[in-house]
Each structure stands twice: as structure tokens, then as C-alpha cells.
Amino acid sequence: MFDGYTLGELGSIFAMQGFAGLILFSIFVLMALGLAIIFGQMGVINMAHGEFMILGAYVTYFTSQFFQASLPSLFGGYFFLAMVLAFIAAGLLGMLVEWGLIRHLYKRPLDTLLATWGLSLILQQFYRSVFGAREVGVELPQWMLGSLPLTDLIEVQINGLFVMGLTLVITCVIAILLYRSSWGRQVRAVVQNRVMAGAVGINTDKIDRYTFGLGCGIAGVAGSAFTMIGSTGPTAGQLYIVDTFLVVVFGGATSLLGTIASAFTISQAQSTMEFFMSGSMAKVLTLLFVVGILMLRPQGLFTLKVRR
């Protein structure tokens, strides 16, 4: 299939493919981080993850509308504010949901699956009724569009770089929060043994609420960032949910490192295969590959060693 191309052209294509894989990797990590925290640390299967992302996307849309109408001179920077607002909005909704729904189900983790699935349907219809059934287009500031041409063939997408940078920052912040802060220590203590953690004086209710809120908030930021590359509509969250669960389950639910490793493996596999075959076939093979690995290693790539 490489007949008739010069070595230079092929080199460029491989470079661009590598870059495409890295972008996909960042996107997967960003998608999965929020879910990994909620699923991994709390054992809650949050099927409404995609809807929290879309809430972030809608917040971004309304922020852009507001800036266009009222502060056109600052439009270039609206995206940063939008991401903060998306985090706050999704996080608050997450805490509300934890308080109203999830906390009653901690002893029945499988029921959280059903409850959050119902929640996702409710949120979808809510978006549809309030924001309209049609998709909305989020306008981006000029500097975030287009690409930087490095050579004739190699071009680096600016929004790809942006997503990569964002993912790096958020991952570092989460890692520090979880593994270097006292809050993180409390979260991990609750994960390992809820009863004991309560006995040594950790307010487990509060920890749960903030953890769930944080996970949802990150989903909101991810949704905000994805307005650059995807669609914003009531059901757009569904587009991401399968890939997200794939990454988290494959990586081993309780490990942040696992999530990252799994996102890397899946994204590289998919991106490379998509280049050599049709998008549909690449997806099928990726799924087969993941299913195969999970059959051999049902706990995922990385796991915490916990005495059960």
C-alpha cells in the first residue's frame, strides 16, 4: 500500500500518525479520568458520565455566546473561563446527585449502574427540553483553529496540542491531590476500608461527596475541551461513554496509572489500525483485543494489592 510514495512522504505520514495517536491518547485520558476516580475510588458505575461531559460542553457554549454578545474584545480567552465554569457546574451537579441518589446505594454497587443510567436518560431529555433538540455549534477563538505547518506534509493541530497540554495539567493535579494531599490519603483510606476509615475519624460522607463532585467536575472540563473536536447536543455524551468504560475497565479500575497505560495502549492500537484498514474494522479489532486481554486478566492491567 506504500507504492509510489517517497521515503520523505512516508516519514511524514508516520510522524503525523504518531501525533494522531498521541492526541487520541490525551482525549482518552481526559475522558476516563473522571470516571476512573468515581469508579475506581468509590466503586460507583457512573453511566451518566457522558451527560456530565455534555453539561460542560453546554456551559462552554453559553459562555462563548455571552462573550460574543457582551465582551467581544475578550473572546480570545473565553475558553479558559468556560473550562472553570464547566468544572464548577458539573461538580455541583455531581455533588447534588451524590447527595440525592448515590449515597443511598453504596451498599448496592450494581444498582448504581441502573440508577445512573436512568439519570443519564433524565439528563438527556432535560437538555433536549431546555436547550433544544438540535445540536449547537460552539465557536472557537481564532488562535485555537487550524494547524502549525512544520514541513509541507507534517502539520500539527493546535487544538490537539491544547488537549494534550490540558490532559497533562489535569493528570498532574489529580495525581498530586490523590497521592500527596491529606484529602487524597483520606480518599484512599475510604476506598480500602470504609468502616475502618470511619472509625479513625474520617468523615466518609464528606469524602464521598467531594470525590464524586471532583470526578464529575473533571468530566465537565473534558466535555468543555471536546467542543473543539466533537459535537454538542443532548445525546452527544453517549458517543464517549463506551470508549471511556473501555479505558477504565481495561486499565484496572482502582489505578490511575492503569488508566493512563490503558488509554495509551488502546489509542495507539486504534489509531494505527485505523490507518491500515477501515474505521469500522479498526474498532472491531480494538474491542476484540481488549476482550481477549480481559479474559486473561479480568482485573485489568494494573490493580491495587488489597487484602480481601
Partner 1 sequence: MADDRKTGLESAMRRKLLMGMATIPAIALMPKFALGAGPPTAEVNTTGLAVTDDEVTVGILHSITGTMAISETGSVQAEKLAIDQINKAGGVLGRQIKFIQEDGASDWPTFAEKAKKLLVQDKCASVMGCWTSASRKAVLPVFEQYNGMLYYPTFYEGLEESKNVIYTGQEATQQIIAGLDWVVKEKGAETFYLLGSDYIWPRTSNKIARKHIENFLKLKVVGEEYFPLGHTQFNSAINKLKLRKPDVIYAIIVGGSNVAFYKQLKAAGIDLSKQVLLTISVTEDEILGIGGENIAGAFACMKYFQSLENPNNEAFVKAFKEMWGEDIVIGDVTQAAYLGPFLWKLAVEKAGSFDVDKIAEASPGIAFEGAPEGYVRIHENHHLWSKTRVGRAKTDGQYEVIYETSELVEPDPFPEGYQ
86 binds partner 1 (CB under 8 A): no
240 binds partner 1 (CB under 8 A): yes
271 binds partner 1 (CB under 8 A): yes
268 binds partner 1 (CB under 8 A): no
Compute the least distance from the CB of residue 261 to partner 1, in Å: 19
204 binds partner 1 (CB under 8 A): no
Q: Which residues contact 62 (CB under 8 A, 6 or more apart)?
A: none
145 binds partner 1 (CB under 8 A): yes
For residue 201, give the nearest of 214, 185, 217 by alpha carbon. 185
166 binds partner 1 (CB under 8 A): no
| Contact residue for partner 1 among 65, 204, 231, 303 (CB under 8 A) | 231
- 306 contacts 261 by C-beta, under 8 angstroms: no
For residue 63, give the nearest of 25, 98, 89, 96 by alpha carbon. 89
Question: Which range, of 94-102, 111-119, 197-205, 268-276, touches partner 1 by CB under 8 A?
Answer: 268-276
Q: Which residues contact 39 (CB under 8 A, 6 or more apart)?
A: 45, 46, 248, 253
Nearer to partner 1, 110 or 277 (CB): 277
- Helix boundaries (H) for the chain: 7-35, 42, 49-70, 78-100, 109-131, 158-180, 182-192, 194-199, 204-226, 238-251, 256-276, 279-296
Q: Which residues contact partner 1 by CB under 8 A?
A: 5, 9, 13, 16-17, 20, 23-24, 27, 125, 128, 133-139, 145-147, 149, 153, 155, 157-160, 228-236, 238-240, 270-272, 274-275, 278-280, 282-283
